[in-house]
Amino acid sequence: MIVIRLDRVLADRKMRLNQLAELVGISNVNLSYLKNGKVRAIRFSTLDAICHVLHCQPGDILEHVEESEEPLSQE
């Protein structure tokens, strides 16, 4: 399963979700769904824009964990 670690990267960059949404050009609601793992897909263009703004790699945001592993809680 893929776990979204956007909250971790945002905390490292001291950036709020609404700031990122504005800079990326997507709605705060859609970005919140992504952050909370409530989406099934993400467009490469959106992922590219997020990585560009946060100066990170996709692997900093997306993490694969085995289904049997307990994912870390997302705060």
| Domains (range + CATH), the chain | 2-64 (1.10.260.40)
* CA–CA separation, 44 and 15 (whole Å): 22
Q: What is the model's pLDDT at position 72?
A: 62
**Residue among 40, 45, 39, 10 nearest 25 (CA):** 45
Mean pLDDT for the stretch of residues 12-17: 96
Q: In the predicted model, is pLDDT for residue 16 greater than 70? A: yes
Q: Around Cβ 67, how many Cβ atoms within 10 Å?
A: 6
Give me the residues paired with residue 4 across strands: 62
Q: In the predicted model, is pLDDT for residue 5 greater than 60? A: yes
Contact at 8 Å (CB) between 2 and 72? Answer: no
Percent of the residues in the chain that have a pLDDT greater than 90, as a whole number = 83
Collect all residues with Cβ–Cβ distance below 8 Å to 8 and sequence separation of at least 6. none
Q: In the predicted model, is pLDDT for residue 74 greater than 60? A: no
Q: What is the model's pLDDT at position 70?
A: 60
